Structure 1
Amino acid sequence: MTNLADKIAPYVAHFRRDGFVMVPDLLGPDELDRYGAAVDGAVARRKRFDSRKLGEKTPYEQSFIQCINLWEDTPAVRPLTFHPIVCEAAARLLGVGTLRLWHDQALYKEAGGRLTDPHQDQPYWPMVETDTITAWIPFDGSTHATGCMGYVPGSHAVGLREFVNIFKPEDALEILKMPQIKDTPPVWVEVPRGGVAFHHGLTVHMAKANSGSQTRRVHTMIFFRDGSTRKNNFPHDSVERYHIEIGAPIDSPVTPIAWPRTAGDLPEPPAAPISRIFAQAVELGAFPDKTGCADR
């Protein structure tokens, strides 16, 4: 039987050259059914107070329903977020010995949901180092019709670190006009069921609108190299809750080791409350309710 290192080896050069890769057959049908149901339930619970129709939401919210750190408040999701095969694959693609979780999140693009605007992930994170990678798991696979991802190949390696305000869609397309990438069209990647798409934190990426009749159900995990340090005071839950100082290693129960871990060993959720600066996000169900902000 081929071990995981051998399975991942052919994809490493592709990832490091292009900043993205799709690895098929990392998850089995039973796992996808089980974890998909767990994430469905978690998203429904987090969003139980939101009765708005798609057209009543902001453009950002029309791109996807976002629920962060589901591993904290949904025990049935925890084995997926720390799935040993996916976590090891991410570490091998990135070429690091130890990975930490930055956060997980559900990104559910509703039927009729708009495109996801082009952006890089890394500028949203107050982290000096750029050894970061996202695992993107579509429970039903992804197609052009349902909102598959597009990546600008090589954009992670051209010195681009551009903050895009994706809360203002009219500004988001500007990143595609940057001289480093303006002549490089995105590559659209459909993912078969069981496959996982990975992209670097500096890879410019986007997603198509969902023209299908069903929600595109995706769970993602963002990982970073152990030993990475806080860059600035840009607020982010992954560093605020345990008061990580600028220049200090990002190391707390919010960002536990994801790989390597002993089989079956899952981290305990952090005890520290979420900062009140994220009260609105808690209210909207984006973060776990550990502040009392969302009490009804």
Structure 2
Amino acid sequence: MSTNPHLSDQTAAGARHDVARAWDRDNEDWWDWYMSLADNSGTAGTDGVNLVEVAAPDPGPLPDDAAVVAELAAPYDVPAGAVEAFATDGFVVLPRVVSPGVAEVLRRRLTDLLADASGSSLRAREMMWLEDPLVRAAVLSPRVAGICAALLGVDALRLYHDSALCKEPGAGRTPWHYDAHHFPLDSHDVISTWMPLQPVPAAMGPLSFARGMDTWQLLADLPFDKVGTSYDQRVAQALRGAGVPLYDEPFAVGDVSFHHTLCCHTAGANRTTQPRMVLGATYYADGARLVEHPTMVSGDWQVFVPDTAPGEPAASPNNPLVTGDPGATSS
């Protein structure tokens, strides 16, 4: 049987579709494994050759930290039709959620926080909000929380985790997936944000979405492949076969996407000379519980929801309430 070099003997055991075992390495190792499941056959640039030349961001004078926090605390006027589009498509991309200056300040901060991250093609870190006040201001911000609550139609949200995702030049695709596979939560009232901290042209690998809140049902019975790329290939085939329309557009600096846990999505290879830095975060409706049997696809979930057993409410100190009220206190 084929094996995957990123799996331990324990997680590699059993059939290639058996993911019932718990993940037993750290989350940086998880990302190396997960990226290896993407089909990159025929994807130009993943060998690091003939990359598209892209200039480093130049946003002009930068705001200080206090100005960054103030911007993130200010409310955002959700455009007319965005809530309906989210409910129909499973995602929405909103313009100018942050200014170019705030994006650049956050990009530099994440670059520092990722300095020691290991990842072969995608360097990643989570839970940075616990150690860095600027990241805390971003992921617990009333601006972002207010948008998420409006799109989901819920009053109270908790943070699952933040994530810094730096896709290096020449790095390959992120495989097709929908997040309900990943998060060990018993609720579908879950939303994730994707905030690129520089413009993301097509060659840099923007997040791409399969339209339709119910599209995941086409994929529900596809066997997951913990060893190779067959799941990624089968998802792409299923979407093509059903004629599902895709959203695959560049992101301007300041654009932020919001996607539902059932929204099927992927991200392209970074075929440019610059790293693609993203700040992401996931939130869920207060009251959700951990599922009874988390799997290896959830990674080291105990880092995100510590001291909580399967079946218990996901409400640890690492999962503060977030609110769109700039005067409220998370707890």
The residue matched to 1:77 in structure 2 has which SS?
helix
Report the Cα offset of residue 194 of structure 1.
0.9
Q: Does 1:219 align with 2:272?
A: no
The percentage of counterpart residues that share the same residue type is 25
Report the Cα offset of residue 180 of structure 1.
11
Report the Cα offset of residue 157 of structure 1.
5.7
Distance 1:170 1:239 in 2: 29
- Look up the match of 1:66: 124
Change (3 A) 1:116 1:223: same
- Look up the match of 1:16: 87
- Look up the match of 1:250: 314
- Look up the match of 2:196: 138
Q: Does 1:198 align with 2:267?
A: no
Distance 1:120 1:181 in 2: 18
- Look up the match of 1:44: 115
The residue matched to 2:187 in structure 1 has which SS?
coil
Report the Cα offset of residue 262 of structure 1.
4.3
The structure 2 residue matched to 1:120, chosen from 178, 190, 196, is 178
What is the TM-score with the length of structure 1 in the denominator?
0.76
The structure 2 residue matched to 1:80, chosen from 138, 156, 164, is 138
Structure 1: which amino acid aligns with 2:306? R
Q: Does 1:171 align with 2:214?
A: no
Once the two structures are superposed, the pairs formed by residues 152-171 of structure 1 within 5 Å of their partners are 152-156=210-214, 159=217, 161=220, 164-165=224-225, 168-171=228-231
- Look up the match of 1:276: none
What is the TM-score with the length of structure 2 in the denominator?
0.69
Change (3 A) 1:262 1:164: farther
Report the Cα offset of residue 265 of structure 1.
4.5
Report the Cα offset of residue 172 of structure 1.
2.0
Unaligned runs of 5+ in 2: 1-73, 296-300
Distance 1:197 1:42 in 2: 23
Q: Indicate the RMSD between aligned Cα atoms, in angstroms.
A: 2.6
Change (3 A) 1:110 1:263: farther
Report the Cα offset of residue 176 of structure 1.
3.1
Large movers: runs of 4+ above 4 Å: 3-6, 155-158, 160-167, 178-181, 264-267
Q: Does 1:209 align with 2:269?
A: yes
Change (3 A) 1:244 1:208: same
Distance 2:96 2:84 in 1: 19
Unaligned runs of 5+ in 1: 268-296
Larger Cα-atom Rg: 2
Distance 1:219 1:83 in 2: 13
Distance 1:238 1:131 in 2: 21
Report the Cα offset of residue 73 of structure 1.
2.7
- Look up the match of 1:31: 102
Change (3 A) 1:239 1:34: closer
Q: Note if contact 2:323-2:330 (Cα within 8 Å) is conserved in structure 1.
A: no
Once the two structures are superposed, the pairs formed by residues 237-276 of structure 1 within 5 Å of their partners are 237=302, 241-246=306-311, 248-260=312-324, 262-263=326-327, 265=329
Report the Cα offset of residue 239 of structure 1.
6.2
The residue matched to 1:76 in structure 2 has which SS?
helix
Distance 1:218 1:108 in 2: 6
Q: Note if contact 2:166-2:275 (Cα within 8 Å) is conserved in structure 1.
A: yes
Distance 1:128 1:27 in 2: 31
Once the two structures are superposed, the pairs formed by residues 99-114 of structure 1 within 5 Å of their partners are 99-114=157-172
Report the Cα offset of residue 175 of structure 1.
2.4
Distance 1:165 1:74 in 2: 36
Q: Note if contact 2:305-2:314 (Cα within 8 Å) is conserved in structure 1.
A: no
How many residue pairs match? The answer is: 251
